[in-house]
Structure 1
Amino acid sequence: MASFSFLFAVLAWASFLNAHALAAGGNSTSVPFRIMSLGASVTFGVGSTTGDSYRKDLEDLLVANGNSVTYVGTKKNGNFTDNAVEAVPGFVISQIAALADTAVPQLKPNLVLIDAGTNNCNQGGTVPDAGANVTNLINNIFQQSPGATVILTTILVNSVAAQDACRVTVNDQYTTLATKLQSTGAKLILVNMRGPDGPLVTDLADGRHPNDAGYVKMADVWFSGIQEVISKGLLTKPSTDVTAATGTGKTGHGDGNSTSSAGPAQTSTVATSAPSPFNSAGRRFYSSSAFAACLGLIIASAMA
């Protein structure tokens, strides 16, 4: 009986470690990421204590999975080295598109993360042309950085009822445009920041911008979208035809294939020591209850 209990405990522990590996691992690719985070105040980092927005957490997740990552943009914000970004607080869709028209041809990202439309809703009324304008933005990116993949997000919740209602209608337009563009073969992924995994109203610092916990949730949603990009083989090698420095970068493997005037890419490796309940971004990979259950089984087997 004791040996059976011990065997059961070992199997439970192995299952637990496997679940940990699945949650922690995700997909990785040998293709380096040259990511442009494009948007307004949320992308810039308003509401976070560090100004990092979701960007550092997302980079940590990608690097922990063995990916090479460089952020590109003409602006910088956040308390981390690779903090390039293409975002200005308060900008509406047309202004964000103008940012992209300048930065994308120069930096040629192979992945663009778009969060746009919140400030259009903040101005009041409805935004019936949001979908059409973002479609134009995306198509321009495809032309300006051939081979690029775009991940578009639905926009966040808002504590002001009228502004939040506007965001729902904008998100409906984004869902429609994503379906249409994907049907033409466009390399576009839509992620849902307004879904159950995105920030809630209680995760907002001021009723509009996420707090640190909200930005962690955003990073997780973006990460899920990037997993889809990898699994579908949508990522292409970054262009070498750039007219501006592309940032410092971090790498989990590979050479990063990035040009920079700010120094070499930083290296981060995945730990191979005993399993930890947290990854490099401080996220718990498994629940404490699962850990306690497995530990209890092992103790029980030892006492049997």
Structure 2
Amino acid sequence: MRFNIFVSFVISSGVALAQSPVWGQCGGMGWTGPTTCVAGSTCTFSNNWYSQCLPGAATTTATTTTTSITTTSSAPGSTSTTGLNLRLLPLGDSITFGLESSDGNGYRNALHKLLEPGNTVNFIGSLKAGTMADNDNEGHSGATIAQIQQFSTNSAALPARPHLILLMAGTNDVFGGSISTGPNRLSTLIDSIFSACPDAALIVATLIPLNGGQPSVDTYNQAVTQLVAQRKAAGQHILLAGMASITAGDLADGVHPNDGGYVKMANAWFPVIQQAAANGWIGQPL
């Protein structure tokens, strides 16, 4: 399935750094920041809107994107598509729930608006949060990776057979001091999701910054990036949504995004959803 796209994104102004750090953004349509990476990482193309500095290379690499795009409006953005019928499950912890956003919607309302034009969009989940009309989600505050698996298995969310699952998990494992084995638990959670929803597409997000736990977050994000790449290479319908555009300044309390940070999250999810659709992974209602 192919998108015909008209997009606009929120772009934060600021002074561009000479080089992006590991896990930082380094390219994409509308990107005005640095396009080279610090030593030990390379600028890696993810999609037309996002390239990221990934560890594992000793030299810096610049990335240039040539895909044309038409900008039509301001935040958070708009699209015109061929007509998707999306049943989408936001799955995770309190960040998915939208904690610390002023309206309780988190990233979900901004993402819903990005997806709405030309499409039928239905968020699903056993919980409701926020002022938006379609406020269903499966974001359990305080939940670890293993607990998210339990919640998703025991709720009606996965049996409802979503076309698309947006997963962010691991922040509470950092707090619990067990993040070193977090990628193993994430792998088990992914197995559980595909067992319940073999026809779904899964997008896994890297963790956003965390005050006091950034070294663990960086290590975990590297492992998640490798895990997703391995599973995609094995044929699973899985993609990575890099959240490196969210900085410590986008946090409301050192853990959860503020309103601007949540909009950045929506803008990070959105092009990866487009990629899943372009891959033909989002089908008709089951």
TM-score norm. by structure 2 comes to 0.71
What is the aligned counterpart of 1:127 among 179, 185, 199?
A: 179
Q: Residue 149 of structure 1 aligns with which residue?
A: 201
Q: Residue 230 of structure 1 aligns with which residue?
A: 277
Q: Do residues 58 (structure 1) and 108 (structure 2) align? A: no
- Deviation digits for residues 161-220 of structure 1 (CA, Å, limit 9, x no counterpart): xx1111111111101111110111100010111x2xx21101100111000000000000
Percent same amino acid at aligned positions? 33
Instruction: Could you tell me which runs of 5 or more consecutive residues in structure 1 were left unpaired when the two chains were aligned.
Output: 1-17, 240-304
Write the mapping of 1:19-168 to structure 2, written as runs, cut at 5 A: 19-21=70-72, 26=79, 28-64=81-117, 66-103=118-155, 104-124=157-177, 126-160=178-212, 163-168=213-218
Instruction: Could you tell me which runs of 5 or more consecutive residues in structure 2 were left unpaired when the two chains were aligned.
Output: 1-68
Q: Residue 172 of structure 1 aligns with which residue?
A: 222
Contact residue 169 and residue 207 of structure 2 kept, 8 A:
yes
Return structure 1 stretches of 4+ with deviation > 6 angstroms: none
Alignment partner of 1:36: what SS? strand
Equivalent position amino acid for 2:94 in 1: S
Q: Which has the higher strand share?
A: 2
Equivalent position amino acid for 1:185 in 2: G
Write the mapping of 1:235-274 to structure 2, written as runs, cut at 5 A: 235-239=282-286
Higher RCO (CA < 8 A, seq sep 6+): 1
Following superposition, the deviation at residue 29 of structure 1 comes to: 4.1
CA distance in 1, matches of 2:194, 2:83: 22
Write the mapping of 1:3-18 to structure 2, written as runs, cut at 5 A: none
The RMSD of aligned alpha carbons is 2.0
Q: Residue 266 of structure 2 aligns with which residue?
A: 219
Equivalent position amino acid for 2:281 in 1: L
CA distance in 1, matches of 2:154, 2:279: 29
- Deviation digits for residues 28-83 of structure 1 (CA, Å, limit 9, x no counterpart): 2433110100000100011101110100100001003x121000001100101100
What is the aligned counterpart of 1:190 among 240, 245, 261?
A: 240
Following superposition, the deviation at residue 19 of structure 1 comes to: 3.2
Equivalent position amino acid for 1:117 in 2: G
Following superposition, the deviation at residue 153 of structure 1 comes to: 0.3
Q: Which has the higher helix share?
A: 1
Q: How many pairs align?
A: 216
